[in-house]
């Protein structure tokens, strides 16, 4: 088995011829015969016992040929690719060139593209970290108070803004009830804006047990076109009034919801977390801007199979995340009305960006002679195992060391770009 010739074509294509020795092919053909003979009936022979020559005479010389060729291709092609010094992307096509003596095959497909990139040191990019104000800290504190509020039944006063009112209602237009306009025991927080404009205000001042009409007009842009702009009457009954009482923002509250003893300490921690969140957001936007700049500087004829393969990776990753939340891809597509091709189309732009950025960083790693040691690979295995809380041996069984090395190398190239960037 050996490479005969290779030719690199435009747009990162290749054509290559390689051979399979007659000895290797005959061995593969005999293996195909032994596998297939068990299911072949030949008159005068017990099933599975007919000689190869007899079967070929009866069914034709080529009965085992295709199976033998298919068995030979993987090893022979891998050896030829190694000899050619190219990296294949996607699935090539194969054709038979000659079956006289050694088998000669032709492969056509695409290779990883040649890449050039310049000016990756000193890229200018903005990094804007939003300031955390005292008002934002107070707003965050109030959100925590709301999550820890207790609900109190109100019996001694009329409904007011901010109350949760339990109501029955039935709506009609011109005296005719409409679909979706009726409910019993519905919780409505007055002032939430959850209902048609003007509805909630008309409950204010009503007492438990009151039955009354609420008169409203549907907005012109209402989603149900048959109701848009129409005047409606909702016959309404107020069954109960509830109120969410927020806990006092004091030291006791801080002790209840955190590991801190005072409110000041808790607020300082809230602010620190908000600052960190803003810094992380700014860093992500900064790195995204650098990635876009690298794409602009990249020169490469990227073959379509690279984009297709990365898009499929995105789809598989999305399916994995759905399964972790109790769904799967088929269920998601059914609920959303999206097709698989539609999902691919949504994910394609990000997949293209990922392919381009990785090619750029791989080239930078090559130009800068960056290296990754065995210790670096071991440390990355440990990091992944800890991050996903799985045994390290399991991670090693799932991810090849060469893939880990390649990922670490790309990360180091990105670090180099960041370290040499001009931050605005």
Whether residue 289 has pLDDT greater than 90: yes
Domain that holds residue 156: 150-245
Q: Of 112, 142, 158, which residue constitutes the final position of a domain? A: 112
Express each pLDDT in 8-42 by its tens digit.
998 899 999 999 999 999 999 999 998 888 888 88
Q: How far is CA 397 from the centre of its chain?
A: 23
Going by C-beta distance under 8 Å and a sequence separation of 6 or more, which residues neighbour residue 302?
A: 12, 113, 355, 356, 359
| Per-residue confidence (pLDDT) for residue 1, from 0 to 100 | 58
Domain assignment present for 57:
yes
Q: Is 77 exposed, middle or buried (0-12, 13-18, 19+ CB in 10 A)?
A: buried
Question: Could you tell me if 320 and 368 lie in one domain?
Answer: yes
Whether residue 142 has pLDDT greater than 80: yes
Question: Could you tell me if 358 and 393 lie in one domain?
Answer: yes
Going by C-beta distance under 8 Å and a sequence separation of 6 or more, which residues neighbour residue 219?
A: 196, 197, 228, 229
> If you average pLDDT over residues 405-422, what whole number do you get?
96
Express each pLDDT in 210-229 by its tens digit.
999 999 999 998 888 889 99
| Per-residue confidence (pLDDT) for residue 41, from 0 to 100 | 81
Whether residue 137 has pLDDT greater than 70: yes
Q: What is the mean pLDDT of the chain?
A: 93
Q: What are the tokens at 72?
A: 């030979």
Domain assignment present for 138:
no
Q: What percent of the chain has pLDDT over 70?
A: 100
| 285, 307, 340 from 205: Cα distances, Å | 49, 62, 53
Whether residue 65 has pLDDT greater than 70: yes
Quickly state the pLDDT bin for 62 (edges 50, 70, 90). confident
Q: Of 217, 245, 273, which residue constitutes the final position of a domain? A: 245
Domain assignment present for 145:
no
Question: Could you tell me if 320 and 357 lie in one domain?
Answer: yes
Identify which of 278, 246, 354 has the alpha carbon closest to the alpha carbon of residue 310: 354
Query: What is the count of structural domains for the chain?
Result: 3
Question: Could you tell me if 377 and 276 lie in one domain?
Answer: yes
CB environment 102-135: b (16+ within 10 A), e (fewer): bbbbbbebbbbbebebeebeebebeeeeeebeee
> If you average pLDDT over residues 374-394, what whole number do you get?
93
Half-sphere exposure at residue 296, Cβ-oriented, CA atoms within 13 angstroms = 10
Quickly state the pLDDT bin for 117 (edges 50, 70, 90). very high
């Amino acid at each position: 088995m050996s490479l005969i010739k290779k030719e690199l074509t435009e747009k990162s294509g290749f054509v290559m011829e390689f051979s399979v020795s007659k000895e290797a092919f005959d061995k593969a053909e005999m293996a195909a015969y032994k596998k297939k003979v068990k299911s072949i009936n030949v008159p005068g022979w017990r099933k599975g016992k007919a000689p190869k020559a007899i079967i070929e005479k009866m069914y034709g010389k080529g009965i085992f040929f295709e199976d033998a060729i298919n068995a030979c291709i993987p090893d022979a092609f891998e050896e030829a690719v190694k000899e050619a010094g190219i990296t294949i992307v996607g699935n090539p096509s194969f054709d038979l060139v000659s079956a006289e003596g050694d088998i000669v095959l032709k492969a056509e497909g695409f290779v990883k593209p040649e890449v050039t990139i310049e000016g990756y040191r000193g890229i200018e990019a903005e990094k804007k970290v939003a300031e955390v104000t005292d008002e934002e800290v107070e707003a965050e504190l109030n959100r925590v108070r709301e999550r820890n509020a207790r609900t109190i039944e109100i019996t001694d006063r009329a409904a007011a803004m901010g109350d949760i009112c339990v109501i029955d209602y039935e709506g009609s237009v011109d005296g005719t009830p409409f679909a979706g306009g009726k409910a019993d025991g519905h919780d409505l927080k007055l002032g939430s804006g959850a209902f048609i404009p003007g509805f909630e205000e008309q409950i204010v001042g009503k007492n438990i047990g009151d039955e009354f009409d609420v008169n409203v007009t549907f907005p012109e842009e209402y989603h149900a076109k048959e109701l848009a702009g129409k005047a409606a009457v909702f016959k309404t009954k107020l069954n109960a009034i509830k109120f969410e009482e927020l806990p006092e923002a004091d030291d006791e509250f801080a002790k209840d919801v955190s590991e801190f003893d005072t409110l000041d300490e808790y607020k300082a921690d809230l602010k620190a977390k908000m600052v960190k969140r803003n810094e992380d957001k700014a860093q992500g936007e900064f790195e995204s801007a650098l990635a876009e700049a690298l794409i602009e500087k990249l020169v490469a004829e990227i073959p379509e199979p690279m984009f297709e393969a990365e898009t499929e990776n995105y789809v598989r990753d999305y399916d994995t995340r759905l399964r972790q939340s109790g769904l799967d891809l088929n269920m998601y597509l059914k609920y959303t009305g999206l097709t698989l091709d539609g999902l691919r189309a949504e994910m394609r732009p990000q997949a293209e960006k990922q392919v381009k950025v990785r090619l750029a960083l791989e080239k930078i790693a090559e130009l800068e002679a960056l290296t990754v040691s065995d210790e670096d690979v071991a440390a990355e295995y440990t990091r992944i195992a800890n991050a996903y809380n799985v045994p390290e041996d399991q991670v090693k069984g799932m991810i090849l060391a060469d893939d880990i090395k390649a990922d670490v190398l790309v990360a180091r190239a990105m670090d180099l770009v960041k370290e040499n960037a001009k931050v605005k």
